[in-house]
Amino acid sequence: MSTVRMSDYLRQNIIETFKDSYDKAHPPIQVDTKYGDKVYNTYIGPNIKTLSETAEDLFGDVFNTTRMFHTASTLQALAPVTTSEIVTSTNKIETTLQESFSFPIRLSTERLMPREISSSGVYTHDVQFKFDRYEDKTVNYICECIEHNSELEAKKRLTSYKVNTLLKKFTTLNQAIKAWPALSKLVEPEKLAKVHEKQQRKRNQELQKEMADEIVIDNELNKTILTGVLLGDDD
């Protein structure tokens, strides 16, 4: 049997392939690490050495001040960012301004960073640096990239939701491809081969019928058979 059922597994595979295709057609912006380096060199780098030396002078005899710092290849930031989310009940995208949105900024190499001290006195968290994006063009650009990527992601999720809803209307892959031919680009080759096998078998059957009809009509075979049956019944 060559009919391919539209199972949940098959539908999810199609959706995941669709998402990959969407990312290729609408690639998110990858923020170059040079922007992170510029932010670090402007706001953090110049003060790290002073902070480290001051901490050692003031508290070096009390505890190991080197634990107050660590190296990292990302800078943890806080800034106002507008994010996008889908609302499936309305099939629309809504945006929300988050005044203190948390996001990492990539650096080209590992840099020295201060650590945040927890209430128990353990150094467990990276310090999050709060920026006013509208006062710094570099930070603002990074935030704009985040907003652009958030909108792209929301559009991808919404479109994927619509594709999933459409696929649920079909019980077989054959039906879905017949209604939406481009869907074949998202289907695994072996599944598609089964669909083509059934289509080819149907075409062969149609050709065989055409040949049989031609012979039957040209030779009046139906009339001959019917006459023979009727005469046989009379006997």
Mean pLDDT of the chain: 83
Q: Tell me the one-letter amino acid at 140.
A: N
Share of the chain above pLDDT 70, in %: 78
> Cα Rg for the chain, rounded, in angstroms?
33
**Per-domain residue ranges of the chain:** 8-173, 191-234
Using CA atoms, how far residue 233 sits from 161, 226, 230, in Å, is: 64, 11, 5
Share of the chain above pLDDT 90, in %: 51
**What number of residues does the chain have?**
235
For the cut 90, the answer to whether the pLDDT of residue 144 exceeds it is yes
Q: How sure is the predictor about 26, in pLDDT bands with cuts at 50, 70 and 90?
A: very high
CB 70 within 8 A of CB 156: no
Give CB contacts under 8 A, 24+ apart, made by 88-97.
88/161, 91/158, 91/161, 91/162, 92/158, 93/151, 93/154, 93/155, 93/158, 95/151
- Model pLDDT, residue 53: 84
Q: How far apart are CA 176 and CA 178, in angstroms?
A: 5
Token reading at 204: 């062969």
The values of phi and psi at residue 119, to 5°, are: -65, -25
Q: How sure is the predictor about 141, in pLDDT bands with cuts at 50, 70 and 90?
A: very high
- Model pLDDT, residue 101: 97
CB 52 within 8 A of CB 190: no
- Model pLDDT, residue 219: 52
* 219: region left, alpha or beta (phi > 0 left; psi from -120 to 50 alpha): alpha
Using CA atoms, how far residue 231 sits from 223, 224, 225, 227, 235, in Å, is: 12, 11, 10, 6, 7
Q: How sure is the predictor about 30, in pLDDT bands with cuts at 50, 70 and 90?
A: very high
